[in-house]
Amino acid sequence: QKEVEQDPGPLSVPEGAIVSLNCTYSNSAFQYFMWYRQYSRKGPELLMYTYSSGNKEDGRFTAQVDKSSKYISLFIRDSQPSDSATYLCAMSPLSGNNRKLIWGLGTSLAVNP
């Protein structure tokens, strides 16, 4: 079993829909949780960053961490065609691991106008 599981999709939604992207993990030591967005033929870019549990909001994006269920989510409100990309989750424990991230495989999202 992988340490981080992420459904690869693809996920296709109409413009304006609320999108929910999720990852599950098995290592209870993970404390840092990140979401990256990767457009086709580009490098990943950091979208949101959460430490420990709780929610974080940035514009149309909300990141949620449920450590009791070992489950993280990224919600996109009022989705736009420009949100079409692959979304990767990544996580790391607080110490050790030399700050290396454990990556999900990514979920491909298409927002249709």
Partner 1 sequence: NAGVTQTPKFQVLKTGQSMTLQCAQDMNHNSMYWYRQDPGMGLRLIYYSASEGTTDKGEVPNGYNVSRLNKREFSLRLESAAPSQTSVYFCASIFNYEQYFGPGTRLTVT
105 counts as binding partner 1 under rule CB under 8 A: yes
Which one of the spans 14-22, 34-42, 53-61, 67-75 is the region binding partner 1 (CB under 8 A)? 34-42
Collapsing DSSP states into helix, strand and coil, what is residue 85? Answer: strand
Q: Choose the stretch contacting partner 1; rule: CB under 8 A; options: 17-25, 57-65, 77-85, 92-100.
A: 92-100
End-to-end CA distance of the chain: 37
For the beta sheet containing 19-25, the strands, ordered from the edge strand earlier in sequence to the opposite edge, are 4-5, 19-25, 71-76, 61-66, 54-58
Q: Binding mask 45-84 vs partner 1 (x if CB under 8 A, - otherwise)? A: xx--x-----------------------------------
Is the Cα dihedral 37, 99, 52, 90 positive or negative?
A: positive
- Is 32 near partner 1 (CB under 8 A)? yes
Residues facing residue 110 across a β-bridge: 12
Residues that bind partner 1 (CB under 8 A): 32, 34, 36, 41-46, 49, 88, 90, 92, 98-101, 103-106
